[in-house]
Amino acid sequence: MRPTLSWTPAPDLPPGTTDPRPVADALGAGGVLVLSGAGLSTESGIPDYRGEGGSLSRHTPMTYQDFTGDAQARRRYWARSHLGWRTFGRARPNAGHRAVAAFGRHGLLTGVITQNVDGLHQAAGSEGVVELHGSLDRVVCLSCGTFSPRRDLARRLHEANPGFDPVAAGINPDGDADLTDEQVGDFRVVPCTVCGGILKPDVVFFGESVPPQRVEHCRELVRAATTLLVLGSSLTVMSGLRFVRQAAQAGTPVLIVNRDPTRGDRYAATRVALPLGTALTTVADRLGLPVDGGSTAR
């Protein structure tokens, strides 16, 4: 499966609003489930896929089939990802992440599902976050299933590739840096220390399925919520859209905060067309909640 590169909004979609009061009202009543996407992390310096200047305009993410079936594709991936991790790992939570953490601390949320792999919700202090697509800070062996910290792999790759320090043209939402084949050169990939197998970041690649038990857990969270609040996701792919459809079919209100139209707008009660940091900080102020608490450790 190739990634969905674009989505064309239908002309009859309801317009967005710049009034965040519906979001504040829903959060004030409690029972809100957050579903977040790449747009929430753009203010932390991590680009999204499909927004203005999104990475898909210049970059096609690695697919599971290419990664597992082509050693050269793995070499390119790990070279690019190793370089990208240095920048990606330095990203810090922004006002939007801190606001979500504040909502959680004050008992307004039933949970957070994120499509992001950057760990910034947890770094801001949110607890019990469901990482729908996994996390870049873990690595898994495809042969023996052993998990290990990404920082350990980063150290091993650094030792195996002394002097590897090309200048990337950009960084992508999956932590992949933009490098040419010439820059990748003869980058050395290291194997699993347990069995010698192929290592892969513990993230769901395009062409790979989200584990069924994780999907069902998310469906349970949707069933238990009184409102589904979508933050910074275009909902282009079914991975997140299915939960919006589930909520709408059950009569659970769906609210979306995203500057651009989304594939879920027709299921939503409203879409707030504001930057995430601005909108969520305004909502937190309306509710009288400070947004500067929580951890910033990575």
pLDDT in tens, 111-157: 999 999 999 999 999 999 999 999 999 999 999 999 999 999 999 99
Q: What is the pLDDT of residue 243?
A: 98
- Please name every residue paired with 109 in a beta bridge, in sequence order, or none if there are none: 32
Was 30 annotated as part of a binding site? no
- Assess whether pLDDT exceeds 60 at residue 296: no
Name the active-site residue from 82, 97, 133, 158: 133
Q: Does 59 qualify as catalytic in the annotation?
A: no
- Joined together, the tokens standing for residue 30 give 């409690």
Q: Given this model, what pLDDT does residue 8 score? A: 72
Q: Are residues 162 and 283 in the same domain?
A: no
pLDDT of 257 above 60: yes
Do 218 and 261 belong to one domain? Answer: yes
Angle, in degrees to the nearest 10, between helices 150-160 and 71-88: 110
| pLDDT in the model for residue 91 | 87
Does 233 appear as a known binding residue? yes
Residues 217 and 284 in one domain: yes
Q: What percent of the chain has pLDDT over 70?
A: 90
pLDDT given at position 12: 77
Would you say 197 is a known binding-site residue? no
Place of tokens 């499509």: 115
Query: Could you tell me the pLDDT band of residue 13, with boundaries at 50, 70 and 90?
Result: confident
* Assigned domain for 11 exists: no
Residue 109, annotated ligand binder? no
pLDDT over threshold 60, residue 70:
yes
Retrieve residue 8's tokens. 């064309």
State the Cα–Cα distance between residues 257 and 269, nearest whole angstrom.
Answer: 11
Strand partners, 63: 206
Does residue 37 sit in the same domain as residue 175?
no
Which of 147, 175, 203 is at the close of a domain? 203
CATH number of domain containing 103: 3.40.50.1220
Give all strands (DSSP E) within the chain, no chain letters.
Answer: 32-36, 109-114, 129-131, 134-141, 147-149, 199-203, 227-231, 254-257, 270-272
Residue type, 74: R
Pick from 5-9, 60-64, 79-83, 244-248: least confident: 5-9
Q: How far apart are alpha carbons 236 and 258 in whole angstroms?
A: 13
Please determine, for residue 34, whether its predicted confidence score (pLDDT) is greater than 50: yes
Span 36-56, mean pLDDT?
Answer: 74
| Domain membership flag for residue 296 | no
What is the reported pLDDT for 65? 94
User: Which domain does 157 fall in, by range?
Assistant: 57-90+136-203
State yes or no: 209 annotated in a binding site: no
151, 184, 203 - which closes a domain: 203
99 plus 221 within the same structural domain:
yes
Largest CA distance in the chain: 57
The CATH number of the domain holding residue 198 is: 3.30.1600
Pair 213, 267 in one domain: yes
Q: Would you say 57 is a known binding-site residue?
A: yes
Overall number of domains in the chain: 2
- Confirm whether residue 266 is marked as ligand binding: no
Query: Is 137 marked as binding a ligand?
Result: no
Number of H helices, E strands in the chain: 10, 9
Residue 35 lies in a domain: yes
**Do 147 and 198 share a domain, yes or no?**
yes
Residues 170 and 152 in one domain: yes
Same domain, yes or no, for 143 and 223?
Answer: no
Average pLDDT across the chain, whole number: 89
The residue-averaged pLDDT of 68-73 equals: 94
* Identity of the amino acid at 120: L
Instruction: Indicate if 232 and 274 belong to the same structural domain.
Output: yes
User: Quick check: 5 pLDDT over 70?
Assistant: no
CA distance 242 to 74: 30
Residue 5 belongs to a domain = no
Split at pLDDT 50, 70, 90, the class of 297 is: very low
Averaged over 168-180, what is the pLDDT? 75
- Residue-level pLDDT at 1: 42
pTM over 0.85: yes
Statement to judge: residues 172 and 263 lie in one domain: no
pLDDT at 41 over 70: yes
pLDDT at 226: 98
